[in-house]
Chains A and B, each alone.
Chain A
């Protein structure tokens, strides 16, 4: 149970970094932390103690496998996280070109 809770704590650390940090890159790092936390949680959900990798090599191979679905989900989630992180960093780069700063307090052309 304690490992599941520590995943949630990692998730919250990421959220804390997004909400409080003023540097754009630190906000991007916060998202990376949240994504890692969820991927770790998925991997732990599928884990079973002493179980094998879920590969059936013959008809009579042993049946104590770890749950393969979370592993597939993590792979997909990593790809999506790659997409969002890449896009976010590109937008941060373009913002830096326009505003010459990473500080969100100085990036405020939009009002309301």
Chain B
């Protein structure tokens, strides 16, 4: 049996066993979920090792060959995304073990948590269009429920808003699949990509692509479709905010978009410069507008939510640059932003846990009493801004390098200068919460919460210092996998015979 189905089978199994375990003995649930996320972490490392040897591993569901059956196509990009999901899921899981002690209904929480991981893992390993939609909906429905998990008025309202906007995106994606199926009569991504080339650049080609990009822009919360994110992400419990902002928007929005644009629709900067310039423009609008709104926020988590919208713009700019360095930068940025924003949302959880409020004006004096949280925040923020020893620097470095190589000097300049905006809004939290002195009796976070923050801090440092190893092993192959373009289809069909 191949290792690929375990990526989503393991968390799905967990999701449906947890309600039973919860009836037997509650601490068993905590051990069980931690074991599953840790197993996924190990499995994703194994996946990285596998794609280092073989560029594409294909698993046939029920042993049906590709154009007829459903396949799982696992290449370096999928391996990279599974690693990012597993790392943040593991950190969020450890954090939630103690963070959730004030919540009721832990069994339900972990069931939804496992479902969200199963949906994301399935989405990145699948090689079938409709399967993509199903996994996307599994993850999305679980996330709507988790946003409403506190069942306070604001949380329910945020969840409903998120659900309405998110479902419009999902249903548009489903309509696009229906139109595409009517035209190509197949759902396998590799086969779709082959047939699509027979009517490349026709109006229906652009209509379907446009509908899909609209759907994924909603899922990725790009400006002007971002309005749900600053409500929904802060409303969720902190470990879930960390998972949603860290990986969820990238898996459901950016990964799917990149996979379809590069590997299925087969667009590249060389052939379609206008389309890729539009992506860059879209990204820059997100960076600037969301960054400016973030400056005006007075709520810790809401500010971080706007920051996520702004940072996602950089990923899109990287993909829009479209040469090897640009795409490498975008993929680096996915990793850097997942680690940094995951960490920042965990620090917000630690602060809220100690103080009971998210209002920046009431949070003075956390810096002295909560040193681990404060230093975790500082390192995460420095990485997000893009200072040299941390991984965030290499992400921006490659985006700038790619822009210069493509002759887009003003985009390189914008990417560097807009870091100032990131610096400005992250300093606002630093100055209000951690630097300002205040009288209080706040306590530092409990051990496991500190452990998961330090775990992410260490990963940011390791990935930043050993960036050439990270680049050779993970990022470079992933960028090659995307830039392989239409050869993706041939590789899938060739790999069926090998496995």
Provided the pairs A18-B168, A38-B175 are in contact, do residues A94 and B156 lie with their beta carbons within 8 angstroms?
yes
* Among listed B91-99, B140-148, B417-425, B441-449, interface-contacting one: B140-148
B181 pairs with A95, CB closer than 8 A: no
A110 pairs with B156, CB closer than 8 A: no
Number of interface residues of B (CB under 8 A): 35
A91 pairs with B171, CB closer than 8 A: no
Provided the pairs A73-B130, A98-B153 are in contact, do residues A91 and B178 lie with their beta carbons within 8 angstroms?
no
A45 pairs with B154, CB closer than 8 A: no
Taking the closest CB of chain A, its distance from the CB of B480, in whole angstroms, is: 33
Cβ contact of A77, chosen from B145, B174, B182, B302, cutoff 8 A: B174
Taking the closest CB of chain A, its distance from the CB of B496, in whole angstroms, is: 20
Q: Which residues of B contact A15 (CB under 8 A)?
A: 168
Provided the pairs A98-B153, A110-B154 are in contact, do residues A41 and B175 lie with their beta carbons within 8 angstroms?
yes
Taking the closest CB of chain A, its distance from the CB of B388, in whole angstroms, is: 34
Q: Residues of A with Cβ closer than 8 Å to B?
A: 4, 11, 15, 18, 24, 27, 31, 34-35, 37-38, 41-42, 45, 67, 69-70, 73, 76-77, 80, 83-84, 87-88, 91-92, 94-95, 98-99, 107-110, 112
Cβ contact of B160, chosen from A37, A92, A112, cutoff 8 A: A92
Q: Which residues of A contact B170 (CB under 8 A)?
A: 84
The residue in chain B whose Cβ has the minimal distance to the Cβ of A42 is: B178
Taking the closest CB of chain B, its distance from the CB of A55, in whole angstroms, is: 17
A94 pairs with B151, CB closer than 8 A: yes
Could you pull out 5 A-B pairs where Cβ atoms are within 8 angstroms?
A: A38-B174, A80-B137, A84-B144, A95-B157, A112-B302
Taking the closest CB of chain B, its distance from the CB of A103, in whole angstroms, is: 13
A112 pairs with B230, CB closer than 8 A: yes
Complex CA–CA separation, A42 to B164 (angstroms): 23
Complex CA–CA separation, A38 to B171 (angstroms): 8
Q: Which residues of B contact A4 (CB under 8 A)?
A: 182
Complex CA–CA separation, A84 to B187 (angstroms): 23
The verdict on B159 contacting chain A, using a C-beta distance below 8 Å, is yes
Taking the closest CB of chain B, its distance from the CB of A31, in whole angstroms, is: 6
Taking the closest CB of chain A, its distance from the CB of B340, in whole angstroms, is: 23
A84 pairs with B167, CB closer than 8 A: yes
Complex CA–CA separation, A99 to B155 (angstroms): 12
The verdict on B378 contacting chain A, using a C-beta distance below 8 Å, is no
Complex CA–CA separation, A84 to B174 (angstroms): 14
Q: Which residues of B contact A95 (CB under 8 A)?
A: 153, 156-157, 160
Q: Which 5 A-B pairs have the closest CB atoms?
A: A98-B153, A45-B182, A80-B137, A95-B156, A41-B178
Max count, chain B CB within 10 A of own CB: residue among A18, A31, A34, A110: A110
Complex CA–CA separation, A77 to B178 (angstroms): 11
Complex CA–CA separation, A27 to B167 (angstroms): 12
A45 pairs with B141, CB closer than 8 A: no
Max count, chain A CB within 10 A of own CB: residue among B144, B181, B230, B231: B181
Complex CA–CA separation, A73 to B181 (angstroms): 11
Cβ contact of A110, chosen from B141, B148, B185, B231, cutoff 8 A: B231
Complex CA–CA separation, A80 to B164 (angstroms): 15
Q: Which residues of A contact B302 (CB under 8 A)?
A: 112
Q: Which residues of A contact B145 (CB under 8 A)?
A: 87
The verdict on B161 contacting chain A, using a C-beta distance below 8 Å, is yes
Max count, chain A CB within 10 A of own CB: residue among B158, B171, B293, B297: B171
- Identify which of residues 478-499 in chain B touch chain A, using a CB-to-CB cut-off of 8 Å: none
Taking the closest CB of chain A, its distance from the CB of B465, in whole angstroms, is: 38
What 1/0 flags go to B205-236 for Cβ under 8 Å of A? Answer: 00000000000000000000000001100000
Q: Which residues of A contact B182 (CB under 8 A)?
A: 4, 45
The residue in chain B whose Cβ has the minimal distance to the Cβ of A95 is: B156
Taking the closest CB of chain B, its distance from the CB of A84, in whole angstroms, is: 6
The verdict on B84 contacting chain A, using a C-beta distance below 8 Å, is no
B168 pairs with A91, CB closer than 8 A: no
Q: Which residues of A contact B154 (CB under 8 A)?
A: 109-110
Cβ contact of A99, chosen from B151, B153, B297, cutoff 8 A: B153
Q: Which residues of B contact A110 (CB under 8 A)?
A: 154, 157-158, 161, 231
Q: Which residues of B contact A11 (CB under 8 A)?
A: 171, 175
Taking the closest CB of chain B, its distance from the CB of A14, in whole angstroms, is: 8
B159 pairs with A91, CB closer than 8 A: yes
The verdict on B123 contacting chain A, using a C-beta distance below 8 Å, is no
Complex CA–CA separation, A94 to B164 (angstroms): 16
A27 pairs with B164, CB closer than 8 A: yes
Provided the pairs A18-B164, A73-B130 are in contact, do residues A83 and B141 lie with their beta carbons within 8 angstroms?
yes
The verdict on B316 contacting chain A, using a C-beta distance below 8 Å, is no
The verdict on B457 contacting chain A, using a C-beta distance below 8 Å, is no
Provided the pairs A80-B137, A94-B151, A109-B154 are in contact, do residues A38 and B160 lie with their beta carbons within 8 angstroms?
no
B156 pairs with A98, CB closer than 8 A: yes
Q: Which residues of A contact B175 (CB under 8 A)?
A: 11, 37-38, 41
